[in-house]
Structure 1
Amino acid sequence: MAEAGRRRGRHETEEERADRMWGELIQEVRVAQTGVQILFGFLLTVAFQPRYATLPHSDRVIYIVTVVLGACATGALVGPVSLHRIVSGFRVKPRAVRLASRLTFVGLALLLATMTSALLLILRVATHGGFVPYLVAAVVAWYLVCWYGLPLWARRRHTVRPDDRAPGLPPGGPGPGRG
């Protein structure tokens, strides 16, 4: 019975689905926005610290790259809010949700790059150890597993394919990438 209930999915119009997906997306973006904005805020203060002037050129380059990545990540993760404000009331929500979802995905990728670069800089300054690239690579691998590997695995393993739907469901019902 539980299997049959899972296969049926939701019976919602395109607009209802867009409303639900928008609400879910905004909740997800709030989490990422907070993190990237705090990280970006701290990054902006580094150049004003006395020790910044003593950093080797390579570390300053890493810092500049990190700040630019953080700015880009912030822009991409705040983008869905601006998009919603500008298109609200123009009956384009399903398309806006798809665009906002893409912006969020790009923002998360940029956040990953920002965090990688920041971690590299911090560990280089803090330890001066030759093991730093390996440690950073291990952390990035962990992020990749948590942020992309596990979700992709779950999507592949638990997605109901169109030919597996319960009889009587419309073609627009649950399937890959739906619901």
Structure 2
Amino acid sequence: MTSSSREGASGSGRDETPQERADRLWSEMLQEVRVCQTGAQILFGFLLSVAFTPRFAALSDFDKNLYDATVVLGAIATGALVAPVAFHRFLAGHGMKPELIHVAGRLIATGLATLALTITAALLLLLRTATGDAPVAWILSAAVMLWFTTAWLILPQVVLSRTAARQHRGTQR
């Protein structure tokens, strides 16, 4: 296979076969998800311990329900971020790495979204309890969620759009 046909086969501008590209993408995904997995697991473990503290019994019904929702979100985030490992264990050796990458990408996106919700809900619970000022807690938590939305969704889209526009202008010259 010539260099140009290898490059065209991967569509990435790199000199790699489709299998090499799949291996590289999988390795990159694992590196990315390791950071998120660790944070989600630590947060989830901390959340589990909260119900066993003396102050938990004094929480309002709203705060206990918020806690329950936060724990469930944390479990979903942790499960979604760990799921690519389980998929890999079941699919390894079956020549399905491109499919694995596709599914893992969706699971990681789900994990990141639920991790953002978990962090925001945990922050809301913490600020409601620590400050006793519900409106301030809601405003600060909403600001953090806006930050996650901006940093994790909007900024990457802006960079992608600008790069695509720059490349498009370059091909028209």
TM bucket by the smaller chain? 0.7 to 0.9
Task: Please give the residue correspondences for 1:26-65 in structure 2 after superposition, counting only pairs within 5 Å.
Answer: 26-65=30-69
Counterpart residue type for residue 119 of structure 2:
M
Runs of 5+ consecutive residues of structure 2 not aligned to the other structure = 1-11
What pairs with 1:55-94 in structure 2 (closer than 5 Å)? 55-94=59-98
Q: Do structure 1's residue 14 and structure 2's residue 18 form an aligned pair?
A: yes
Unaligned runs of 5+ in 1: 1-7, 167-179
More helix, by proportion = 2
Quote the residue 1:120 is aligned against: 124
Deviation at 1:159, TM superposition (A): 3.6
SS in 2 for 1:25: helix
RMSD: 1.9
Of 111, 122, 144, the match for 1:107: 111
The residue identity in structure 1 corresponding to 2:67 is: Y
Match of 2:136 in 1: 131
Identity %: 52
The residue identity in structure 2 corresponding to 1:87 is: L
Q: 1:92 to 1:161 in 2, by over 3 A?
A: farther
Residues 1:104 and 1:48: Cα distance change in structure 2 (over 3 Å):
same
2:4 is matched with none
Provide, for residues 24-59 of structure 1, a one-character-per-residue CA deviation record: whole Å limited to 9, x for no partner.
Answer: 000000000010000000000000001101111100
Question: What's the TM-score, normalizing by structure 1?
Answer: 0.83
The separation in 1 between residues aligned to 2:16 and 2:131, in whole angstroms, is 55
CA offsets per residue over residues 48-99 of structure 1, 9 Å max, x none?
Answer: 0011011111000000000000000000000001111110000000111011
Higher relative contact order (CA 8 A, sep 6+): 1
- Partner in structure 1 of residue 155 of structure 2: 150
1:155-166 matches, within 5 Å, as 155-159=160-164
Structure 1 window deviating more from structure 2 (11-20 vs 54-63): it is: 11-20
* Structure 1 stretches of 4+ moved >4 Å: 160-166
The normalised TM-score by structure 2 is 0.86
1:163 offset after TM fit, Å? Answer: 7.0
The aligned length equals 159
